[in-house]
């Protein structure tokens, strides 16, 4: 578990933006849609900045429940400034849950993989990119993969 947590922390250090605007949100979301369509993945994609939803797409095979999961995952990132998967793994390593002990309603928060902070250098977390529809480790891995590609295109 410790090795996985270290890897997840390294991803967050590596996947940082120099800037992030509405056009970047659209391009990132579109890239996620393109990859998902190529692979036939039944996912819902959401990109936000400053609490504003800038991109949202629900691909074939998804349901409104995916939107509920997205909302719950986003709340974790907004509160903890770390990916929902990293928060969940840290808690699991300690045998804890994100619940009343943290002052939250677990029905409103999901420490499951798929929501990743959009972090701008010298600014901090400005938004969240989220995927829902696959097992949590796969949701997280897809976001990380596409963020890496996207940031490579901006360089």
The domain spans of the chain are: 2-154
In contact, 78 and 104? CB cutoff 8 Å: no
Render pLDDT for 79-99 as a digit per residue (tens, 0 to 9).
999 999 999 999 999 999 999
SS3 112: coil
Cα–Cα dist 106/68, whole Å: 13
Cα–Cα dist 95/127, whole Å: 28
Q: Average model confidence (pLDDT) for the chain?
A: 97
Render pLDDT for 28-60 as a digit per residue (tens, 0 to 9).
999 999 999 999 999 999 999 999 999 999 999
Average pLDDT over every residue of 134-145: 98
| Residue 5 pLDDT exceeds 80 | yes
pLDDT, residue 155, reads: 57
Domain 2-154 has CATH 3.30.450.150: yes
CA-CA-CA-CA dihedral for 15, 21, 27, 32, to nearest 10:
50
Average pLDDT over every residue of 104-109: 96
């Amino acid at each position: 578990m410790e090795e996985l947590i270290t890897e997840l922390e390294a991803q967050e250090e590596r996947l940082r933006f120099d800037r992030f605007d509405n056009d970047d949100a659209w391009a990132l979301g579109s890239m996620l849609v393109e990859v998902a369509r190529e692979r036939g993945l039944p996912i819902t994609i959401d990109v936000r900045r400053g609490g504003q939803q800038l991109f949202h797409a629900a691909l074939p095979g998804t349901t409104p429940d995916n939107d509920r999961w997205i909302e719950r995952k986003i709340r974790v990132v907004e509160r903890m400034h770390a990916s929902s998967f990293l928060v969940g793994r840290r808690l699991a390593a300690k045998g804890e849950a994100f619940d009343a002990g943290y002052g939250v309603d677990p029905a409103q928060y999901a420490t499951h993989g798929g929501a990743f902070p959009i972090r701008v250098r010298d600014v901090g977390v400005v938004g969240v990119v989220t995927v829902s529809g696959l097992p949590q480790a796969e949701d997280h891995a897809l976001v990380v993969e596409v963020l890496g590609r996207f940031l490579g295109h901006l360089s």
